[in-house]
Amino acid sequence: MILSLLLLAVLLVLLVQWRAGVREAEAEAAYPPSGQFVDVDGTRIHLKVEGTGPDLVLIHGASGSLRDFTFDLMDRLKGRYRIIAVDRPGLGRSERPKGYGGAWNNAAEPPALQARLLEAAAREVGLTNPIILGHSYGGAVALAWALEHPDETAGLVLLAAASNPWPGSLGLLYNVNASRPGGALVVPMITAFSPRSAIEQTVRSIFVPQDVPDGYIAHFGPELTLRRTTMRANAQQVNSLRPYVVEMKERYPGLNLPVEILHGTEDTIVPLAIHSEPLSRQIPGAVLTRMEGIGHTPHHADPQAVVHAIDRVAARAGLR
């Protein structure tokens, strides 16, 4: 009896892993790399370079990739800026650095390490005195970038940025997926069997109270986020973020560069009152734009407001 149960368990594990592998292969075939790869000390970082003008780096949020920016925002900017959109380590098409990743490894890359990897990759394509834009979790990486390279960063544009410590936990799913047993056993089941309807509903929940733009889901490819390695990286990075922003916030007053902060008043994922309102007081001269009625995706809800914020940073930095 025990032997039969063990055999059944092994067969179930093999079935889950097989099905997960099939779905990952389908997702990667449907959404091939759209940019180029740069090697940083053995870690492949995927980035996309377009346009001419002052350098502008775009850093996506949790569960995202640079495809979030190529849907609309990059086209609005590439006539006036040289845009370097990056996939954060472990997400999109970028690899995780040595020491991170693996089914039973729950180590998470700190924002500062991610910033160093992305900065080194961008330097390989000629990065010079950039404006750094970060959305959501990418805002924490953008802030870490400026703290790591204060004299080589022209300015910051922060969209619904995770920047300050929050009360409570992030919820059961993040805790489970970020753990060793969850990463090894639960994540593959999510990859293998998540229905399309649940995937689309998750995307819609990120845009609330706005609607998802027509064609966005097909362009973005949420199935890429469901890959096992990506789900583990995302959960581990997000679940470990709070202690890093606790440390980072003590250093914000030392930032001396143009900073524009845009945040929706209806954002329930990264609340305005917890993050951007304190941040606007912590960074000298930072300008906060409260976007009335907008949720967690200001660059989709009002992309021109984001373009204007970038232009204001460029002007204050003397780039225009």
- Looking up residue 249, the CATH number of its domain turns out to be 3.40.50.1820
**At what angle are helices 241-248 and 137-148 packed, to 10 degrees?**
40
175 occurs within a structural domain: yes
Q: Which of 37, 92, 34 is nearest to 63 (CA)?
A: 92
Q: Which of 148, 166, 146 is nearest to 157 (CA)?
A: 146
Beta strand ranges found along the chain (DSSP E):
36-40, 43-50, 55-59, 82-86, 131-135, 155-159, 259-264, 287-291
Q: For position 129, what pLDDT does the model report?
A: 97
Q: For position 320, what pLDDT does the model report?
A: 82
165 occurs within a structural domain: yes
CB 58 within 8 A of CB 74: yes
Tell me how far apart the alpha carbons of residues 313 and 33 are, in angstroms, rounded to a whole number: 30
**At what angle are helices 111-124 and 241-248 packed, to 10 degrees?**
80
121 occurs within a structural domain: yes
Tell me how far apart the alpha carbons of residues 233 and 256 are, in angstroms, rounded to a whole number: 32
Residue range of the domain that includes 165: 29-316
40 occurs within a structural domain: yes
7 occurs within a structural domain: no
Structure tokens at 10: 């092994």
Q: For position 169, what pLDDT does the model report?
A: 83
| Phi, psi (degrees; rounded to nearest 5) at 89 | -55, 130
Q: Which residues of 12-37 are buried (b: 16+ CB within 10 A; e: fewer)?
A: eeeebbeebeebbeebeeebeebbee
52 occurs within a structural domain: yes
10 occurs within a structural domain: no
Q: Is 7 helix (H, G, I), strand (E, B) or coil?
A: helix
Q: For position 12, what pLDDT does the model report?
A: 83
Q: For position 170, what pLDDT does the model report?
A: 86
Structure tokens at 102: 């693996």
Q: Which regions of the chain are under pLDDT 70?
A: 4-5, 9
Q: Residue 90 corresponds to which amino acid?
A: G
Q: For position 24, what pLDDT does the model report?
A: 98
Q: For position 204, what pLDDT does the model report?
A: 97
Q: For position 171, what pLDDT does the model report?
A: 83
CB 265 within 8 A of CB 302: no
Q: How many domains does the chain have?
A: 1
pLDDT tens digits, one per residue of 171-213: 888 999 999 999 999 999 999 999 999 999 999 999 999 999 9
191 occurs within a structural domain: yes
Tell me how far apart the alpha carbons of residues 12 and 5 are, in angstroms, rounded to a whole number: 10
Q: For position 13, what pLDDT does the model report?
A: 81
